[in-house]
């Protein structure tokens, strides 16, 4: 597994930076391409501090074909992990063109350059959002796919493009068939246990865990809980929260699976990365208080448009085919979130 070189797009971001740590610790050489539109170079400096290894970094936009080709000219890549993308649901409804351009067009440019350089092993960041509002839980990979907002649609479109690419290989035109792992993340939370890297959202967080952490550190006055009338055990929404380090390790398992694949079984497959457990908003608030000793002030408000009652994974396919499972529990998620937030109240700034 070592002496392989991986291109990590969006590697300065939240999940990307944690995955860079795991890749470096496992002995990979990594090259990060990130335009820093939603991240800071400091994250990669901290990755280097944690691992005592070097990250090769290019500040570039994946939509810039010449810039990408120049990176591919300077390095031989064994695979690409593609994190780069915009991810705010609300913003995607206001600026759909920006989302389709950044996510879909950006991915097309990346795929074209990969094909040009005959690099056809890819791990792609998808999301549980592609399951829309599932009829039942836990969610399996073969459930129907749908999306209700432009962000989710970009993930669906990209997944379809990847499946088409893989199908096109059967026409025999390509030198080396594509080998693609689509990873559908459930709700990533937490931070590296060092407290040096973590989630650093711009402005007021949209997601639950960073919001709770910012209430705890005094940046926000109280949490608004979106709805207490869902058909769940306590009326609040239930999600599958997964520690970001467990999630990062899933990418290494996916790479291992791609690299160990025989030439005639190269394909495009989707995998859920979740714990298989669902926790409510109140479970999360209570766990955070229990672990940190800090009370979180909250009020119940109306449901947030587009939210669903319950969403959690059946992670058995990832266990069977990637030999991946989560190690960390809810307490680890809370402790590490707080360690990052309390050590870095202003994020990387």
Residues designated catalytic: 151
Residue 195 or 237 with smaller CB distance to ligand UD1: 237
Q: Does residue 89 touch ligand UD1 according to CB under 6 A?
A: yes
CA 56-35-7 angle, 5° bins: 40
Site map (CB under 6 A) of ligand NAD, residues 70-89, x = contact: -------------xxxxx--
Which one of 129, 272, 337, 341 is in contact with ligand UD1 (CB under 6 A)? Answer: 129
Residue 150 or 177 with smaller CB distance to ligand NAD: 150
| Selection from 68, 100, 86, 78 nearest residue 5 by Cα | 78
| Least Cβ distance, residue 281 to ligand UD1 (angstroms) | 5
Which one of 100, 178, 185, 288 is in contact with ligand NAD (CB under 6 A)? Answer: 185
Q: Which stretch binds ligand UD1 (CB under 6 A): 6-14, 109-117, 242-250, 300-308?
A: 300-308
Binds 38, which of ligand UD1, ligand NAD, none (CB < 5 to 8 A, cut-off by type)? ligand NAD
Say how far apart CA 161 and CA 143 lie, in whole Å: 19
Q: Which stretch binds ligand NAD (CB under 6 A): 36-44, 218-226, 306-314, 333-341?
A: 36-44
| Least Cβ distance, residue 12 to ligand UD1 (angstroms) | 17
Residue 188 or 276 with smaller CB distance to ligand NAD: 188
């Amino acid at each position: 597994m070592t002496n392989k070189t991986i291109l990590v797009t969006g590697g300065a971001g939240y999940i990307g930076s944690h995955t860079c740590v795991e890749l470096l610790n496992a002995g990979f050489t990594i090259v990060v391409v990130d335009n820093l539109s939603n991240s800071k170079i400091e994250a990669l400096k901290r990755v280097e501090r944690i691992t005592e290894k070097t990250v090769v970094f290019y500040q570039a936009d994946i939509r810039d074909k010449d810039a990408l080709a120049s990176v591919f000219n300077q390095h031989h890549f064994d695979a690409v992990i593609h994190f780069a993308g915009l991810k705010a649901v609300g913003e995607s409804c206001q600026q759909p063109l920006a989302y389709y351009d950044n996510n879909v067009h950006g991915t097309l440019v990346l795929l074209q350059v990969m094909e040009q350089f005959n690099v056809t092993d890819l791990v792609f960041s998808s999301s549980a959002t592609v399951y829309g509002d599932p009829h039942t839980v836990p969610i399996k990979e073969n459930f129907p796919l749908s999306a209700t907002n432009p962000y989710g649609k970009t993930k669906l479109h990209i997944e379809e493009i990847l499946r088409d690419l893989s199908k096109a290989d059967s026409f025999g035109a390509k030198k080396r068939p594509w080998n693609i792992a689509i990873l559908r993340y459930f709700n990533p939370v937490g931070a590296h246990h060092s407290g040096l890297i973590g989630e650093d959202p711009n402005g007021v967080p949209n997601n639950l865990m960073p919001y709770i952490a910012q209430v705890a550190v005094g940046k926000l006055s109280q949490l608004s809980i979106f709805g207490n009338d869902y058909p769940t055990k306590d009326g609040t929404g239930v999600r599958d929260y997964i520690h970001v380090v467990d999630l990062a390790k899933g990418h290494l398992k996916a790479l291992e699976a791609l690299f160990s694949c025989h030439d005639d079984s190269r394909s495009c497959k989707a995998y859920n990365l979740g714990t298989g457990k669902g926790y409510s908003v109140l479970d999360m608030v209570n766990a955070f208080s229990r672990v940190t000793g800090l009370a979180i002030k909250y009020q119940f408000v109306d449901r947030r448009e587009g939210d669903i009652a319950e969403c959690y994974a059946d992670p058995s396919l990832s266990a069977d085919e990637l030999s991946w499972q989560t190690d960390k529990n809810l307490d680890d998620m809370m402790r590490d979130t707080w360690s990052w937030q309390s050590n870095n109240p202003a994020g990387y700034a």
